[in-house]
């Protein structure tokens, strides 16, 4: 038997919990993954994805060499040298810039890549090619959170720490299948309910694992969140449960909030949401009456055309009851991917540089021009992810550079999206695997996995932590940060010459106040939570202590608006999409991991037994699910996890992609698509 050569601590590649784990290697092969016993999040545990995070790296399906499509769009992808591939990318992008202007280009950074790599991607877009068209899949998950919480409180991040889940006495959880998507946080909620008697108020259209532990499980109709949140606030104000002193001292806009929620009487709300008036009343009293109460939410709240209003309403509720700015009390968006928080923090967004410094602010531009030694940076907000593809369809975007993202499976209305990818004149895909998006690529650049490079990820509680190289990159693959630097150099920009990622972090710290005190030596043993403005700052476990980041918290009341598409006679079911416990995002890694692939090998649609009976449908039968945008075939899973009239399909599976069906209508402020609600019909296949 071979000997274990090395064991290094790193950060899990999957969800935003950011568990600490040891990867053990034998030669250039990872052979196991085990939890860190003292880590503040994992605390000696991992979920099934973390335990199995060591297999996909050595998959035979890894891309190990650059590929160039020769013979035009219909031609074949053929092996190329790094020099040839990099030169081609730099030349094509430079020539588009010259002929059609900088805004004919777009760049997708990645919630899976490190902070350092995301910082370089936005530097490449802005400093080298002169465009703010840079975005990533945060647009599809928590764009509403970033906008809604920034407007109300001044910071778009989770207010508390993961360890606060062991201290809170009440959890209002909505739109988050927490045990499935953030398993280590989900288990803390269950532990608090069982061991300490904490109350769980669950608002979710589906029955989920947490339902069993909930004091109240209110199953609202999908897309009616503003109504029930306003209903809670109506009861709180009507019954005098609001935090008067807190409102007076720390907030503005209360009178307007009071006026708006006045008509959301519980019986009126019941008509919209289906939540019984009595249940709403009880939930309002428990939440307002418990001092240590935390709101927890995820994409069931954000992925709507009213996503920003949903988030603002949750912020209003927390401020109304004085439940923000203290340990174990706050508003906690659970970020989905390992580094979606960090990718936003370091500027992988079209309107901000790192640290959420606006590109439209002349002072911020001046600062970055000086740091990056350029005499021009664009001053207008760039295009969002959804706008980038729409503009590619219209021929306005000519070149797109995609790092570690798979829009051909993760984005809504895929038939339309794939048409846009096909029409993109020059598409670069940088990834570990030949993804669905890579099928449309003109150049594929092989990237190293998280185990093959150094860097940092920032987890959902704003903890910046180290990622460590435990093996050499597979084949000729390279870390994303090296590839981006090579492209920059080939395009004639020489201020991206780093020996290692710690130098990139030093640059991030020098221009980013919230990361100002962060350097690799300070990240031992378990990272630092931003804001960490200087070298002596210990990091910040909870936000808005004494005052909100924006000064005073601002109530921004919203009226209920129905979803963009509702069921009708032709499409009578409401479809909601999401993830499973066993798989992650578009399945590029988990579907190449034997244990996970064995558990859930194929897609399914959850349908209520009453609906199945009406259609004479048996569990396991194939059905065709169709919306106005397309159709897929999947197995029916007859289950009470969904109510009558509601169906659920995970979006991990390329053979039957749920996003063929979804809507591309977006929230007007955050431009997040309405992935959580659309109308479908179901027929026996």
15/153 with CB nearer ligand SF4? 15
53/540 with CB nearer ligand SF4? 53
Q: Which of 72, 50, 117 is closest to 431 using CA atoms?
A: 117
Q: Judged by CB under 6 A, does residue 210 bind ligand SF4?
A: no
Place of tokens 């009558």: 644
What distance in Å separates the CA atoms of residue 268 and residue 270, rounded to the nearest whole number? 5
Q: Are 471 and 29 in contact (CB under 8 A)?
A: yes
Tokens coding 169: 């006495």
Span interacting with ligand SF4, options 41-49, 405-413, 419-427, 634-642, rule CB under 6 A: 41-49
Place of tokens 């290094």: 8
Q: Are 236 and 265 in contact (CB under 8 A)?
A: no
Q: Judged by CB under 6 A, does residue 183 bind ligand SF4?
A: yes
What distance in Å separates the CA atoms of residue 10 and residue 490, rounded to the nearest whole number? 32
Q: Tell me, letter by letter, the H, E, C secondary structure of 143-191.
A: HHHHHHHHHHCCCCCCCCCHHHHHCCCEEEEECCCHHHHCHHHHHHHHH
Closest separation in Å from C-beta 453 to ligand SF4: 18
Q: Judged by CB under 6 A, does residue 340 bind ligand SF4?
A: no
307/336 with CB nearer ligand SF4? 336
Span interacting with ligand SF4, options 46-54, 161-169, 271-279, 648-656, rule CB under 6 A: 46-54
What CA–CA distances, in Å, run from 405 to 101, 331, 337, 409, 606?
25, 28, 12, 9, 27
178/220 with CB nearer ligand SF4? 178
42/580 with CB nearer ligand SF4? 42
Q: What is the size of the binding site for ligand SF4 (CB under 6 A)?
A: 13
Q: Judged by CB under 6 A, does residue 142 bind ligand SF4?
A: no
What CA–CA distances, in Å, run from 441 to 315, 421, 444, 588?
42, 8, 6, 17
Binding ligand SF4 by CB under 6 A: which of 10, 40, 43, 49? Answer: 49
Q: Judged by CB under 6 A, does residue 429 bind ligand SF4?
A: no
Closest separation in Å from C-beta 122 to ligand SF4: 25
Closest separation in Å from C-beta 47 to ligand SF4: 3
12/658 with CB nearer ligand SF4? 12
Binding ligand SF4 by CB under 6 A: which of 9, 23, 30, 46? Answer: 46
Site string for ligand SF4, 623-652 (x = CB under 6 A): ------------------------------
Q: Residue with the closest Cβ to ligand SF4?
A: 50
Closest separation in Å from C-beta 367 to ligand SF4: 34
Three-class SS of residue 8? Answer: strand
CB atoms within 10 A of CB 683: 11
The secondary element (H helix, E strand) that includes residue 38 is: none
49/323 with CB nearer ligand SF4? 49
Which residues lie below 8 Å from residue 521, measured CB to CB, with a gap of 6+? none
What distance in Å separates the CA atoms of residue 207 and residue 392, rounded to the nearest whole number? 40
Q: Judged by CB under 6 A, does residue 342 bind ligand SF4?
A: no
Alpha helices in 347-465 (DSSP H): 362-372, 385-393, 407-410, 414-423
Q: Which of 411, 306, 299 is closest to 668 using CA atoms?
A: 306
Q: Judged by CB under 6 A, does residue 184 bind ligand SF4?
A: yes
Task: Classify the C-alpha dihedral 634-640-642-644 as positive or negative.
Answer: positive
Closest separation in Å from C-beta 18 to ligand SF4: 6
Binding ligand SF4 by CB under 6 A: which of 50, 330, 336, 563? Answer: 50
Q: Judged by CB under 6 A, does residue 296 bind ligand SF4?
A: no
Closest separation in Å from C-beta 57 to ligand SF4: 15
Site string for ligand SF4, 2-21 (x = CB under 6 A): ----------x-xx-xxx--
Interface residues toward ligand SF4, by CB under 6 A: 12, 14-15, 17-19, 42, 46-47, 49-50, 183-184
């Amino acid at each position: 038997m071979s000997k274990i050569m090395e064991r290094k601590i790193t950060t899990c590649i999957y969800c935003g919990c950011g568990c600490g784990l040891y990867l053990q290697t034998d030669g250039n092969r990872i052979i196991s993954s085990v939890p860190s016993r003292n880590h503040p999040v994992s605390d000696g545990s991992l979920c099934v994805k973390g335990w199995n995070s060591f297999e996909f790296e050595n998959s035979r399906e890894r891309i190990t060499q650059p590929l160039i499509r020769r013979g035009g769009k219909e031609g074949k992808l053929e092996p190329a040298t790094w020099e040839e591939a990099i030169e081609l990318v730099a030349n094509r992008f430079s020539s588009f810039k010259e002929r059609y202007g900088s805004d004919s280009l777009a760049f997708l950074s990645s919630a899976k890549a490190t902070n350092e790599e995301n910082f370089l991607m936005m530097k490449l877009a802005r400093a080298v090619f002169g465009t703010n068209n840079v975005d990533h899949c945060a647009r599809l998950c928590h764009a509403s959170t970033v906008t809604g919480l920034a407007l109300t409180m001044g910071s778009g991040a989770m207010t508390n720490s993961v360890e606060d889940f062991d201290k809170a006495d009440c959890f209002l959880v909505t739109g988050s299948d927490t045990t499935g998507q953030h398993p280590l946080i989900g288990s803390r909620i269950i532990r608090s309910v069982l061991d300490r008697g904490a109350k769980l108020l669950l608002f979710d259209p589906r029955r989920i694992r947490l339902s069993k532990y909930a004091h109240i499980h209110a199953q609202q109709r999908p897309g009616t969140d503003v109504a029930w949140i306003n209903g809670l606030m109506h009861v709180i104000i009507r019954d005098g449960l609001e935090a008067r002193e807190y409102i007076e001292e720390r907030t503005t806009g209360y009178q307007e909030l009071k006026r708006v929620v006045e008509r959301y009487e519980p019986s009126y709300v019941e008509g919209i949401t289906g939540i019984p008036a009595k249940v709403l009343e009880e939930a309002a009293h428990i939440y307002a009456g418990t001092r240590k109460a935390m709101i927890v939410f995820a994409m069931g709240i954000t992925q709507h055309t009213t996503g920003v209003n949903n988030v603002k309403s949750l912020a209003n509720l927390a401020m109304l009851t004085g439940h923000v700015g203290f340990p174990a009390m706050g508003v906690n968006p659970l970020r989905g991917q390992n580094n979606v928080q960090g990718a936003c923090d370091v500027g992988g967004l079209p309107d901000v540089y790192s640290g959420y410094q606006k590109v439209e602010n002349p002072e911020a531009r001046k600062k970055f021009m000086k740091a990056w030694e350029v005499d021009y940076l664009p001053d207008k907000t760039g295009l969002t992810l959804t706008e980038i593809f729409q503009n590619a369809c219209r021929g306005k975007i000519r070149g797109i550079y995609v790092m570690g993202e798979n829009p051909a499976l993760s984005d809504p209305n895929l038939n339309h999206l794939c048409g846009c990818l096909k029409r993109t004149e020059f598409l670069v895909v940088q990834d570990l695997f030949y993804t669905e998006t890579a099928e449309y690529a003109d150049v594929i650049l092989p990237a190293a996995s998280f185990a093959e490079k150094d860097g940092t990820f920032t987890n959902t509680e704003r903890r910046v932590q180290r990622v460590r190289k435990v093996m050499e990159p597979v084949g000729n693959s390279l870390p994303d940060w090296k590839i981006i630097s090579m492209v920059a150099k080939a395009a004639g920009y020489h201020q991206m010459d780093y020996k290692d990622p710690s130098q990139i972090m030093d640059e991030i710290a020098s221009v980013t106040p919230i990361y100002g005190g962060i350097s690799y030596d300070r990240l031992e043993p378990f990272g630092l939570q931003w804001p960490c403005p200087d070298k002596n700052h210990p990091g910040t476990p909870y936000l808005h202590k004494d005052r909100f980041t924006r000064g005073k918290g601002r109530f921004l009341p919203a009226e209920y608006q129905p979803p963009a598409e509702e069921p009708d006679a032709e499409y009578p079911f409401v479809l909601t999409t999401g993830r499973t416990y066993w798989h992650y995002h578009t399945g590029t890694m988990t579907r190449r991991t034997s244990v996970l692939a064995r558990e859930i090998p194929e897609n399914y649609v959850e349908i209520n037994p009453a609906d199945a009976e009406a259609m004479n449908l048996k569990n396991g039968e194939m059905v065709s699910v169709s919306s106005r945008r397309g159709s897929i075939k999947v197995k029916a899973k007859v289950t009470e996890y969904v109510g009558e009239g509601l169906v659920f399909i995970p979006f991990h599976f390329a053979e039957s992609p749920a996003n063929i069906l979804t809507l591309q209508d977006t929230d007007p402020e955050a431009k997040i698509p309405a992935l959580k609600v659309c109308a479908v019909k179901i027929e026996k296949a």
